[in-house]
Structure 1
Amino acid sequence: MSEHDHLIDPTPKPPPSPWNIANALTVMRILMVPVYGWLLLAEGGDDPTLRFWATGIFLLAMLTDRVDGDLARRRGLITDFGKVADPIADKALMGMAFVALSVLDELPWWVTVVVLVREWGVTALRFFVIRHGVMPAGRGGKLKTVLQSVTLTLFSLPLWVFPLPGVWQAAAWVTMALAVLVTVATGLDYLMKALRLRRTSERAAMKRERARRARRARAERP
């Protein structure tokens, strides 16, 4: 036995408990979604005070998204619950924002439909190819999230109470156009990655090899 063997702990480290601060922030973000939606839709969206509160809730929810991820990685608090709940919380918040703004007739429904189809479509793609590997979030996806966050913040604010409201509204529409373009582009990119992953993964290679052997065996039969 080496003199260092006694320093090695043979007991495997237990997985982190789902009852941790990172998951608590994720759950809090989910609970903020209906609060944000109610504040945004109340009084037909015409009360500037409620719109400011809605924007504050939205920004706080986005802050928890950043904090819970950093905490989970830094403190080793990544759990199966967090892996599932975190993207659900993000999509619920963004989905509520787009749908509420369309209900208020401040955003065309086709924009909301395009964004929601992309978001949930990419989620379905991830599950579709999970047996072949994991599709990590790329820079395009992170840029999409930033653009959507900025855009939804601007649209949530009561821009008509600001000086030069036309300038603010123009900025909101420019960022919305960019967000939609990046959303569609990254969605197509994820689709191509998913198809490529299905063709090039180790699982796909093993499946092709089994099929090749089966064809050879049939060909060699008398």
Structure 2
Amino acid sequence: MPDPQSGTSATTPPSNFNIANALTVLRIAGVPVFGWLLLIDGGADVSTRVWSFVAFSLLMITDRIDGDLARSRGLVTDFGKLADPIADKALTGMAFIGLAIIFDHWLFWAVAITTLVREWGITIMRLFIAKYGVMPASQGGRIKTTMQAGALALYCLPLEIWDTTASDITMWVAHVLLAVAYVITMVTGVQYVIDARRLRAEWFAAQDA
């Protein structure tokens, strides 16, 4: 039976070759380009730091666009479900590591490493738990992603090089965004683990019923 929204058969899965997945692949391919722009001359080149901000912002925007396209046009695929979080984590991971190298401060390194351990750990856990049921992203997780992206984008700008009042204020905005994002990251990480344990327990209970 045709799907009135997508115009395709409701029983026929969408092809992996679609615009939503193409944007996801583009985001993955853009990660090394972004990293190169960010780390040219150890992050001391003003123009390439600005371009790294542009690249990071555009690549993060594709995350929102590909998700909206996949849902609105019935283009959700198994490939997209796997590749989309990998693309996100690769991009933010490159940003965290690159910025930690540039700022070279123990606190930024600590935030970067613990955040990435949480991000990749939860992503891997969700892949393993998928056989027991779907564990969707929480509202807290979406807020975390938005604030994290905003903070990382601001850090990409050469604020410490410009050294103006405006850049100092912007840097503090980035600090606050990252601090709040970090707290939400850790809290939602714990919640995801609790949800995964409950989902697994409910699946086994259903099998025994």
Deviation at 1:127, TM superposition (A): 2.4
**2:190 counterpart residue number:** 188
**1:66 counterpart residue number:** 64
Q: If you compute each CA radius of gyration, which structure gives the higher value, 1 or 2? A: 1
Q: Match of 2:53, as an amino acid?
A: T
- The one-character-per-residue Cα deviations of 1:114-159 (angstroms, maximum 9, x if unpaired) are 1111101111221232222111101000011011001101110111
Q: What's the % identity of the aligned pairs?
A: 50
Q: Match of 1:174, as an amino acid?
A: V
**Count of matched residue positions in the alignment of Structure 1 and Structure 2:** 197
**2:93 counterpart residue number:** 95
CA distance in 1 between partners of 2:87 and 2:156 (Å): 19
CA distance in 1 between partners of 2:65 and 2:129 (Å): 29
The one of 21, 24, 32 aligned to 1:23: 21
Report the aligned-residue RMSD.
1.6
**2:114 counterpart residue number:** 114
CA distance in 1 between partners of 2:53 and 2:186 (Å): 25
Structure 1: any 5+ residue segments left out of the alignment?
A: 1-10, 210-222
CA distance in 2 between partners of 1:64 and 1:130 (Å): 25
**2:77 counterpart residue number:** 79
CA distance in 1 between partners of 2:51 and 2:102 (Å): 17
Name the CA shift for 1:46/1:125 in 2 (closer, same or farther; >3 Å).
Answer: same
Q: Match of 1:28, as an amino acid?
A: L
CA distance in 2 between partners of 1:95 and 1:167 (Å): 25
Q: Match of 2:192, as an amino acid?
A: Y
- The one-character-per-residue Cα deviations of 1:28-51 (angstroms, maximum 9, x if unpaired) are 111110000000000110111001
Structure 2: any 5+ residue segments left out of the alignment?
A: 1-8
CA distance in 2 between partners of 1:37 and 1:167 (Å): 25
**TM-score of the pair, normalised by structure 2:** 0.88
**TM-score of the pair, normalised by structure 1:** 0.83
Question: Structure 1 residues 152-161 or 46-55, which shifts more?
Answer: 152-161
CA distance in 2 between partners of 1:95 and 1:162 (Å): 26
**2:176 counterpart residue number:** 174
CA distance in 1 between partners of 2:10 and 2:96 (Å): 45
